[in-house]
Amino acid sequence: MQANRTQRITTVLAMLLAGAIIVHAGVLDGTKLKVKVVPTKAAADNGAKEFVDELIFADGKCTSTALSQKGFKQAKYSAEVEPNEAEFEIELVSATNGVVVWTGEIRGTNTLGGLQWMQEGRSNRMYEFSGAKE
């Protein structure tokens, strides 16, 4: 009987800890990131261009101002937050321009990460981005 109780307590504590660390919906709400997005050499060789973007986090979702002009809708984001740093992932979808996945981190006021743009009939385009909180 004691072993079952200990097992249940251990399981509940592990679940609470995992929930506290892994994903906090809306934790980046109110954050704006101004970023410069630069294609990798392979992507640039295939015609990809660098661009400036602003990622706006609000109501548990993220909007890319540059990509919204290409039909990408705002989407829910996931984030893991610790003191003075956060990691995030966003998957934006466009009916005509495919899927873009942002994966990044924020340390203090600086941000950096990668972007993968997948579009039917084209090779995946990889980018790196860096910038700062506004």
Residue 67: how many CB atoms within 10 A of its CB?
22
Average pLDDT over residues 100-106: 97
The pTM (predicted TM-score) of the whole model is 0.80
Residue 47: how many CB atoms within 10 A of its CB?
9
Q: How does pLDDT run across 26-40, given as a tens digit for each residue?
A: 799 999 999 999 999
pLDDT band at 121 (very low <50, low <70, confident <90, very high): confident
Cα 40 to Cα 112: distance, rounded to the nearest angstrom: 14
Query: Has residue 17 got a pLDDT over 50?
Result: no
pLDDT above 90 as % of the chain: 73
pLDDT band at 16 (very low <50, low <70, confident <90, very high): very low
Higher pLDDT, 3 or 29: 29
Q: Locate 45 and state its tokens.
A: 């060789």
Query: Has residue 76 got a pLDDT over 80?
Result: yes
In the prediction, which pLDDT does 26 show?
Answer: 79
